[in-house]
Amino acid sequence: MLAVLCPGQGGQHEHMLDLLLDDAAAARVLNDVEHTSGAHPRRWAADAERIFDNEVAQPLLCVAQYAAWSSLRTIVPAPIAFAGYSVGELAAYGCAEACTADELLRLAMERARIMHNASEGRNGGMLALRGIDRRRLDGLCAGRDAWVAIVIDDAAFVVGGTLAALAQIQDDLQETDVKLTCLKVGVASHTPLLAGAVTPFRLVLEQSALRAPSFPVVSGIDGAVRSVRASITDALARQLAETLEWSRCLTALHERGCRVFLELGPGRALTNMVRDRFPDARARSLDDFRSLSGAAAWVRRELS
């Protein structure tokens, strides 16, 4: 069975829309949202100086994934579920038919704006760590403005916090075997530093045209499947300031029988996580293919 994964920020690149612009259905979505965004998404992707800024990255990622799926959904078997990593969860609801492309784009723009306002005056960031257990990591965060933001696996995490706190953690781990990667994200997402964003974004979601999805979507904060609108808006708002349990999301998909995973891109981060976690799973990203039809052919072959 198929699971569709929508990645979050970090994998953006200037060619991330090339595959979509070569596909009539996907290109139509990108063209149609220009009036909502004020610029064609290709302009965002081409802006190397701003492509990692939240205000550009979040709407760009959401509309790109929606565009990709708008074409793929007609040529691949229906997925058993969607899951999204961070802002990718918002995109996942869009792909699962919980809103239109225009509404998804508007929500992504509002999400980025609200997060920026909530973090203003407190420089934050995110740090990926691999090769460390949760107890040791909690000890490093204790007493500092740093928290576990994302649980990827038993020995892989993302920490969010102030730049000063993250620098202290890096210093403490300098002479260890822990692998550290500074993520290209300008705020400490999924930590209490974003608590001020939760209520404003919940209000935006409640007043939006978001509806119950046509396909199951696994929630990032606990790995549960949500189908009631009130529960969906609550989870999407809370995830801004709460730890994402991505490990639970992958486990939930695997337990539902998913063995084929397609990541809508850009990047291959979620694909690599699936491969590391489940030896019996087959996972690919759109970045692995030269066309959407090529990706669809792989999915059909793996599911046959």
Domain membership of residue 203 (yes or no) is yes
Work out how many domains the chain is built from and give that number.
2
Residue found by looking up tokens 């620098």 in the block: 167
Helix axes 101-119, 24-32, angle to 10 degrees: 50
**pLDDT for position 294:** 98
Residue 187 lies in a domain: no
Domain with 146 in it: what CATH number? 3.30.70.250
Q: Does residue 77 sit within a domain?
A: yes
Looking at this protein, which amino acid is placed at residue 171? D
* Residues 55, 101 within the same domain: yes
pLDDT at 37: 86
The helix, strand and coil proportions of the chain, stated in percent and rounded to the nearest 5, come to 50, 15, 35
Q: For residue 108, what pLDDT is reported?
A: 98
Provide the CATH number for the domain around residue 77: 3.40.366.10
Is 128 within the bounds of a domain? Answer: yes
Structural domain for 38, as ranges? 2-119+192-303
Low-confidence ranges of the chain (pLDDT < 70): none
Query: Could you tell me if residue 97 is inside a domain?
Result: yes
Torsion of CA 203, 207, 213, 219, to 10 degrees: 0
pLDDT recorded at residue 35: 84
Checking 57-60 for CB contacts under 8 A at 24+ apart, the result is 57/9, 57/12, 57/87, 57/112, 58/9, 58/87, 58/90, 58/108, 58/109, 58/111, 58/112, 59/105, 59/108, 59/109, 59/112, 60/12, 60/16
In a shared domain, residues 28 and 101: yes
Residues 157 and 178 in one domain: yes
Q: Are residues 115 and 207 in the same domain?
A: yes
**In residues, how long is the chain?**
304
Looking at the structure, do residues 61 and 197 belong to the same domain, yes or no?
yes
